[in-house]
Structure 1
Amino acid sequence: MHKLLIVDDEEYVRNGLKKRFSWQEFGFQVIGTCNNGQEALDFVRTNQTHVVLTDIKMPGMGGLELAAQIHQLFPEIHIILLSAYNDFKFAQEAIKLGVKGYLLKPVEEDEVKELFASISKSLRLAARPNYIPPAPADLSSYNSMEKQCITRAKQFVEEHIESKITLQEVARELHFTATYFSIFFKKETNQNFIDYVTEVKIKKAMQLLQYSDFLVKDIAYKVGYDDYSYFCKIFRKYVGTTPLDYRTNRMK
């Protein structure tokens, strides 16, 4: 029997997944359930596990971060994402990056059968003594996922330029913990996320100062600063002059 771990922060979902399906008919045994990614990661460190079925959105370590961690530590473990409708597109992206499949809530039995039959076959083949594993599609698949997340984070900043944008907010949007998102954003861009947000806002303010007739105070609001004095301070720090002087010099 192949060993399956179920991970979801909702107890009724965990119990429902465990009891609803005839896992033995698929060749699987549910060896445990966990309510978050960190608990699941601790579990697979000490228990042989073939497949982890995990929700994407969970408090703390979410499903995508869990998948990335398992991929690095235990690449032989198959990951399946359990996705709500709003996460569907993101789940599809993750599949391209090495995740073995997804199940869309509410989970349908036919989909479970089809997906787990395929994974069971792969696991049986891998257990053969003369089995030669296929070359991985991309050894840096989760690095690629992180790069896609950087792109999504930058798009979020552009689309919410008039709002106050926090690290926690964007990490939550991408289903990562703030700490993990902060680390890989810095790794990929060589820049702290908050510094990046400030830079984008100031560049937008510079454009508005040069090409619009908005009052400087209104421009501050348009790039997410409701404290005019603080906006001027940050602008001077990045540009070397006040917003008003910048506009005046550009109009000469």
Structure 2
Amino acid sequence: MNKEHYRVLLVDDEPWNRDILRSLGEWETLGMTVAGEAEDGEEAIRLIEQHQPHIIITDMRMPGIDGVELLQTLSGQFPHIKVVVVSGYDDFNYAKHAIRHRATDYLLKPVNPDELNAVLAKCKRELEKAESGPEFWEPYPAAFSGEFALFQQQVRLRFNDLNVQGLRELFQQLEHRLEINLIHRPQQLGRIAYELQTLMGELCVSNGLCDQPSAAVLPPSVSLASISSAVDWVSAPYYQALEQLIAQRKFKNKLNLDEVKHHIEHHCMELITLEQLAQIFFVSKEYLSKMFKKEYGLTVTDYVVQLRMTRAREWVLDEQIPFKHIAEMAGYEDVSYFYRVFKKHFGISPGEMRKGEAGLQNPRLD
């Protein structure tokens, strides 16, 4: 690949946005070439097979398959492709989707040329590193890809719940599933270990164990000699980090409601329950519930709903965001349940609110 150019695919429904990216990128200097362009996520997925891109630069808001769905597909089916998200919508939850699905970076329109080329250079460094380790490129068997994504979600929940035993059981299950799916080659095991290190870094940052995650590294070859040794190598730091987090929480003299409130605000778009909070802060759920309502005048559940609905209202008023994406970003997998919660909170449905706002912005003149 040193002699060949890295291939880049541009994805944006506006041709002039793609033209801008073409003009801003220092393609020749970076050893890259724009191999193709797509107007939406569906076309992008078709062009991946044709052009075999190393890098995809995509907008988030597009008709049909938008950036959110495209990121999900790329993360599951084409994890070796580097993805750069470019969007004119300065919103944390779009950035959260980018982070969740392993995008290399998130840039806002209008794109700054220096920022764009710095991100492209970062992609190039990662691709060059990947060429010395095929574990970054070899795809998982289709049957295992979904299983591994679910496993990572469960690891996140167990870690945030401070559930050491549950985490150990998960890694035992992982070892078993790797045996069943015949994932035993060093390249495959190395990639799994690398991705789980990246996840642990994210968990350590979100739980205050560090300001920024340590760079993921490849396991030593001896640790990739078997499934058991690979799982032991990658799981040990999880247990150490979790024990450290538990120790920090246990040595606190009393319940710090500001920390509880901060934790809720940070995780309100995720699954969060009173039982989980009580376990995290080492108090009974009854005591936590009583003290939280006494301090803030509402229950934990009501506060979570309040936070979610505040953000959801902003998205509802933006006609370009589909309601199904708003429900997902607000932490609701069931769209109909999101509708019920929204209407109970505001007294009108999301559709009625959006329609009413559109009427105010475009009043009739007759």
TM-score when normalising by structure 2: 0.43
Provide the secondary structure at the position in 2 that maps to 1:25.
helix
Output the CA distance in 2 between the equivalents of 1:68 and 1:170. Answer: 25
Output the CA distance in 2 between the equivalents of 1:54 and 1:189. Answer: 25
Q: CA deviation at 1:194?
A: 2.1
Q: Residues 3 and 155 of structure 1: is their aligned pair in 2 closer, same or farther, counting only changes over 3 Å?
A: farther
What percent identity do the matched residue pairs reach? Answer: 22
- In the TM superposition, what are the counterparts of 1:137-156 in structure 2 within 5 Å? 137-138=198-199, 148=269
Q: Which amino acid aligns with 1:35?
A: E
Deviations 1:205-239 (A, max 9, x none): xxxxxxxxxxxxxxxxx6127xxxxxxxxxxxxxx
Q: Is residue 51 of structure 1 aligned with residue 55 of structure 2? A: yes
Output the CA distance in 2 between the equivalents of 1:20 and 1:48. Answer: 22
Provide the secondary structure at the position in 1 that maps to 2:13.
coil
Output the CA distance in 1 between the equivalents of 2:37 and 2:26. Answer: 16
Output the CA distance in 1 between the equivalents of 2:62 and 2:270. Answer: 18
Q: Which amino acid aligns with 1:62?
A: D
Q: Residues 117 and 7 of structure 1: is their aligned pair in 2 closer, same or farther, counting only changes over 3 Å?
A: same
Q: CA deviation at 1:35?
A: 1.0
Preserved CA contact (<8 Å) 1:156 1:170: no
Q: Is residue 193 of structure 1 aligned with residue 346 of structure 2? A: no
Match of 2:34 in 1: 30
Q: Which amino acid aligns with 2:29?
A: E
How many aligned positions are there?
A: 189
- In the TM superposition, what are the counterparts of 1:51-90 in structure 2 within 5 Å? 51-84=55-88, 86-90=89-93
Q: Is residue 102 of structure 1 aligned with residue 106 of structure 2? A: yes
Preserved CA contact (<8 Å) 1:88 1:104: no
Deviations 1:145-179 (A, max 9, x none): xx94889xx66873499x9xxxx959966x5x567
Aligned-CA RMSD value: 3.9
Match of 2:194 in 1: 135
Q: Residues 223 and 19 of structure 1: is their aligned pair in 2 closer, same or farther, counting only changes over 3 Å?
A: same
Consecutive unaligned residues of structure 1, counting only runs of 5 or more, are 142-146, 205-221, 226-252
- In the TM superposition, what are the counterparts of 1:89-238 in structure 2 within 5 Å? 89-97=92-100, 98-128=102-132, 133=191, 135-136=194-195, 137-138=198-199, 148=269, 158-159=309-310, 175=321, 192-198=334-340, 201=343, 223-224=347-348
Q: Residues 201 and 108 of structure 1: is their aligned pair in 2 closer, same or farther, counting only changes over 3 Å?
A: closer
Q: Residues 7 and 150 of structure 1: is their aligned pair in 2 closer, same or farther, counting only changes over 3 Å?
A: farther
Provide the secondary structure at the position in 1 that maps to 2:43.
helix
Preserved CA contact (<8 Å) 2:269 2:308: no
Output the CA distance in 2 between the equivalents of 1:9 and 1:66. Answer: 13
**Aligned match of 2:20 in 16, 27, 38?**
16
Output the CA distance in 2 between the equivalents of 1:91 and 1:157. Answer: 15
Match of 2:263 in 1: none
Output the CA distance in 2 between the equivalents of 1:155 and 1:60. Answer: 31
Q: CA deviation at 1:112?
A: 1.8
Preserved CA contact (<8 Å) 1:171 1:178: no
Provide the secondary structure at the position in 2 that maps to 1:80.
strand
Output the CA distance in 2 between the equivalents of 1:33 and 1:50. Answer: 14
Preserved CA contact (<8 Å) 2:90 2:108: no
Output the CA distance in 2 between the equivalents of 1:123 and 1:47. Answer: 17
Q: Residues 111 and 196 of structure 1: is their aligned pair in 2 closer, same or farther, counting only changes over 3 Å?
A: closer
Higher relative contact order (CA 8 A, sep 6+): 1
Preserved CA contact (<8 Å) 2:342 2:348: no
Q: Residues 114 and 33 of structure 1: is their aligned pair in 2 closer, same or farther, counting only changes over 3 Å?
A: same
Match of 1:216 in 2: none
TM-score when normalising by structure 1: 0.60
Q: Residues 41 and 57 of structure 1: is their aligned pair in 2 closer, same or farther, counting only changes over 3 Å?
A: same
Provide the secondary structure at the position in 1 that maps to 2:65.
coil
Provide the secondary structure at the position in 1 that maps to 2:348.
coil
Q: Is residue 7 of structure 1 aligned with residue 11 of structure 2? A: yes
Preserved CA contact (<8 Å) 2:13 2:38: yes
Match of 1:215 in 2: none
